[in-house]
Amino acid sequence: MRILLAGGAGYIGSHTAVCLLQAGHDVTIVDNYANSCPEAVRRIEQIAGRKADCFQADVKDRDTLLRIFREKPVDCVIHLAGLKAVGESVRNPIEYYRNNIDTTLSLLEVMRETGVHDFVFSSSATVYGEENPIPYLETMKKGSCSSPYGWTKSMMEQILTDAAAADPELSVVLLRYFNPIGAHPSGLIGEDPQGIPNNLMPYIAQVAVGRREHLTIFGDDYDTPDGTCRRDYIHVCDLAEGHRLAVEYAHEHRGVEIFNLGTGKPCSVLELVHAFEEASGVSIPYVIGPRRDGDLPQFWANADKARAVLGWQAGRGIGEMCRDTWNWQKNNPEGYRGGRI
Ligand code: NAD
Ligand code: UD1
Our answer on whether the CB atom of 178 is closer than 6 Å to any ligand 2 atom is no
Residue nearest to atom 44 of ligand 1 (CA): 124
Our answer on whether the CB atom of 271 is closer than 6 Å to any ligand 2 atom is no
Atom of ligand 2 nearest to the CA of 228: 30
| Mutation pick for ligand 1 pocket among 122, 145, 199 (CB with most ligand atoms within 8 Å) | 122
Round to whole Å and give the CA distance between 209 and 206.
5
CA of 296 to the centre of ligand 2 (A): 9
What pLDDT, on a 0 to 100 scale, did the predictor assign at position 336?
96
| Residue of 133, 139, 152, 85 lying closest to 297 (CA atoms) | 133
What pLDDT, on a 0 to 100 scale, did the predictor assign at position 276?
98
Mean pLDDT of 292-317: 97
Cross-strand pairs, 257: 173
Ligand 1: lining residues by beta carbon, under 6 Å: 7, 9-13, 31-36, 58-60, 80-84, 99, 103, 122, 124, 177, 179-180
What pLDDT, on a 0 to 100 scale, did the predictor assign at position 95?
98
Exposure string of 19-48, with b = 16+ CB inside 10 Å and e = fewer, is: bbbeeebbbbbbbbeebbeebbbebbbebb
| Mutation pick for ligand 1 pocket among 28, 56, 63, 80 (CB with most ligand atoms within 8 Å) | 80
CA of 51 to the centre of ligand 1 (A): 21
Burial of 130 (0-12, 13-18, 19+ CB in 10 A): exposed
| Ligand at shortest distance from the CA of 11 | 1
What pLDDT, on a 0 to 100 scale, did the predictor assign at position 154?
98
CA of 185 to the centre of ligand 1 (A): 21
Pick left, alpha or beta for residue 195 (phi over 0 → left; psi -120 to 50 → alpha; otherwise beta): left
341: pLDDT confidence band, cut at 50, 70 and 90? low
pLDDT tens digit string along 95-146? 999 999 999 999 999 999 999 999 999 999 999 998 999 999 999 999 999 9
What pLDDT, on a 0 to 100 scale, did the predictor assign at position 339?
74
Determine how β-strand 233-235 pairs with β-strand 215-218.
Answer: unpaired
| Residue of 183, 185, 324, 177 lying closest to 263 (CA atoms) | 177
What pLDDT, on a 0 to 100 scale, did the predictor assign at position 337?
87
Atom of ligand 2 nearest to the CA of 180: 6
3-state secondary structure of 193: coil
Instruction: State the DSSP H helix or E strand holding residue 123, giving kind and residue range, or none if neither.
Output: strand 118-124
Residue pair 58/65 in contact by the 8 Å Cβ criterion = no
Round to whole Å and give the CA distance between 55 and 64.
10
What pLDDT, on a 0 to 100 scale, did the predictor assign at position 266?
98
Round to whole Å and give the CA distance between 277 and 117.
46
pLDDT tens digit string along 195-237? 999 999 999 999 999 999 999 999 999 999 999 999 999 999 9
Round to whole Å and give the CA distance between 254 and 54.
28
What pLDDT, on a 0 to 100 scale, did the predictor assign at position 338?
79
Phi first, then psi, for residue 26 (nearest 5°) are: -95, 145
| Ligand at shortest distance from the CA of 61 | 1
Round to whole Å and give the CA distance between 50 and 43.
10
pLDDT tens digit string along 147-202? 999 999 999 999 999 999 999 999 999 999 999 999 999 999 999 999 999 999 99
87: pLDDT confidence band, cut at 50, 70 and 90? very high
User: CB within 8 A of 193, min separation 6: which ones?
Assistant: 199, 202, 335
Determine how β-strand 230-231 pairs with β-strand 267-268.
Answer: antiparallel
Per DSSP, helices labelled H in 23-92 are 38-48, 62-71, 86-91
User: Which residues are identified as catalytic?
Assistant: 149
CA of 269 to the centre of ligand 2 (A): 10
Our answer on whether the CB atom of 84 is closer than 6 Å to any ligand 2 atom is yes
Determine how β-strand 286-289 pairs with β-strand 215-218.
Answer: parallel
pLDDT tens digit string along 3-61? 999 999 999 999 999 999 999 999 999 999 999 999 999 999 999 999 999 999 999 99
CA of 223 to the centre of ligand 1 (A): 32
What pLDDT, on a 0 to 100 scale, did the predictor assign at position 93?
98
User: CB within 8 A of 173, min separation 6: which ones?
Assistant: 119, 120, 121, 246, 249, 250, 256, 257, 258, 259
